[in-house]
Amino acid sequence: MKGTFPVDKFNELQTPFYYYDTKVLRETLACVNKEVAKYPNFCVHYAVKANANHDILTIIRENGLGADCVSGGEIRAAIAAGVPSDKIVFAGVGKADWEINLGLDNNIFCFNVESIPELEVINELAAAKGKVANVAFRINPNVSAHTHANITTGLAENKFGISMADMERIVELAISMDHVKFVGLHFHIGSQILDMTDFEALSHRVNELQEKLHVRGVHVEHINVGGGLGIDYKYPNENYMPSFAAYFATYAKHLKLYPHQTLHFELGRAITGQCGSLISKVLYVKQGANKQFAILDAGMTDLIRPALYQASHQIENITSEEPLEEYDVVGPICESSDVFAKGVRLNATKRGDLIALRSAGAYGEIMASQYNCRELPKAYLSDQL
């Protein structure tokens, strides 16, 4: 089943461009808030790295979510969209001094710290400003996630986080410092996770680590389990929203929170993934030796996920109702990896047809590049057309 798009309005726009269905976005946010409301100590921060479009961020802020940032630029984007600074968390394995200072100057809620050297720098920079910075420690839980190797982040071999063996030492170090305040533990095991048992496994590991601290009289105020909840790329219309109910209930059931604690989440793809599509025009239909190619004006510079992760997006010809034919759908970039998909069945396609690459609202526009000196794609919201 194909999606519904305002094709007449699309014909007036220069392709390729991103199109965001704000109805889908708002329904998704309403569902998140409905489920979170069942658990008074749950708090959601939107992972800005998924999509930092200002209009998208503004809608997310209007729905009460905080922001999870992994760069100074993302902090600026969140603040520009009106996100209160006390709802901003700042993660990232390599925070530059200017980024830390930006967080300090804006009194953000928390720095998610990933190493002892980083903790020492935050303490030093906070001291220079006469401030005390809230810090949580990102612990690498060595929990495997059923997802692509490039987006697994919670294994011991990954660059992210502090080893479990070092947790107690770094907590004690932070407590001894004058310009940082230890407030929480942070975890993130990966992205595009659909198997709830991965989140169960993380919950059990968090319980173990919390108990180690608890017996030593260290009581953690905040637990942050990151995000990682995936979406259905194969059936974006039928399943345009992941099961937030199952996701939050998994943590409510398996993670043992103490009465004084808040549980934080950092959802990105699950919120914006299904609301966005990349709209492209067919430049040529080329007959090869044993296959035909639909050559688009969009390429890996506009949507890199298929080239980078071998990701699969539903592809639709939204201007043809002809019988189905098989195509390799490719872009114009001078790279053999500039292929969206092979052997795709599309309604018979011709030059000038409009193609929609679905479920592109996360890690699409934000990862676009100007390789081959191409222009960055523009973006339009449904309520702006």
Q: How confident is the model at residue 154 (pLDDT cuts 50, 70, 90)?
A: very low
User: How crowded is residue 27: how many other Cβ atoms within 10 Å of its Cβ?
Assistant: 15
**Average pLDDT of the residues in 206-232:** 95
C-alpha to C-alpha distance for 262 and 268, rounded to whole angstroms: 19
What's the whole-number average pLDDT of the chain? 94
164 Cβ contact partners less than 8 Å away, ≥ 6 residues apart: 139, 140, 141, 142, 209
Query: Is the pLDDT at 156 greater than 60, yes or no?
Result: no
Q: How confident is the model at residue 321 (pLDDT cuts 50, 70, 90)?
A: very high
Q: Provide the total of helices (H) and of strands (E) in the chain, helices listed first.
A: 11, 17
SS3 of 267-335: ECHHHHHHHEEEEEEEEEEEECCCCEEEEECCCCCCCCHHHHHCCCCCEEECCCCCCEEEEEEECCCCC
- The rounded percent of the chain whose pLDDT value lies above 90 is 89
Per the CB < 8 A criterion, the answer to whether 207 and 112 are in contact is no
Question: How are beta strands 17-20 and 276-287 bridged, if at all?
Answer: antiparallel
Q: How confident is the model at residue 169 (pLDDT cuts 50, 70, 90)?
A: very high
pLDDT at res. 144: 59
**Average pLDDT of the residues in 314-330:** 98
pLDDT at res. 97: 98
Query: Is the pLDDT at 147 greater than 90, yes or no?
Result: no
- pTM, two decimal places: 0.94
Closest CA to 308 of 192, 92, 145, 151: 151
At 241-277, the pLDDT tens digits run 999 999 999 999 999 999 989 999 999 999 999 999 9
Q: Is there a common fold for 7-17+274-384 and 22-273?
A: no
What is the rounded (10 degree) CA torsion for 323, 326, 330, 335?
-170
Domain residue limits, the chain: 7-17+274-384, 22-273
Closest CA to 307 of 281, 345, 335: 335
CATH class label, 7-17+274-384: mainly beta
pLDDT at res. 289: 87
364 Cβ contact partners less than 8 Å away, ≥ 6 residues apart: 18, 51, 276, 278, 302, 303, 305
How far is residue 44 CA from its own chain's centroid?
13
From residue 323, give the alpha-carbon distance in Å to each of 3, 178, 203, 319. 17, 70, 49, 12
Q: How confident is the model at residue 151 (pLDDT cuts 50, 70, 90)?
A: very low
Coil, strand or helix at 112 = strand
At 80-125, the pLDDT tens digits run 999 999 999 999 999 999 999 999 999 999 999 999 999 999 999 9
Closest CA to 228 of 144, 113, 156: 144
Closest CA to 197 of 245, 145, 249, 149: 145
At 274-308, the pLDDT tens digits run 999 999 999 999 998 899 999 999 999 999 999 99
Per the CB < 8 A criterion, the answer to whether 62 and 383 are in contact is no
Which two structure tokens, joined as six digits, stand for 127? 């001291």
CATH class label, 22-273: alpha beta
Query: If 0-12 CB within 10 Å is exposed, 13-18 middle and 19+ buried, where does residue 356 land?
Result: buried
pLDDT at res. 43: 98
Query: Is the pLDDT at 153 greater than 70, yes or no?
Result: no
Coil, strand or helix at 29 = helix
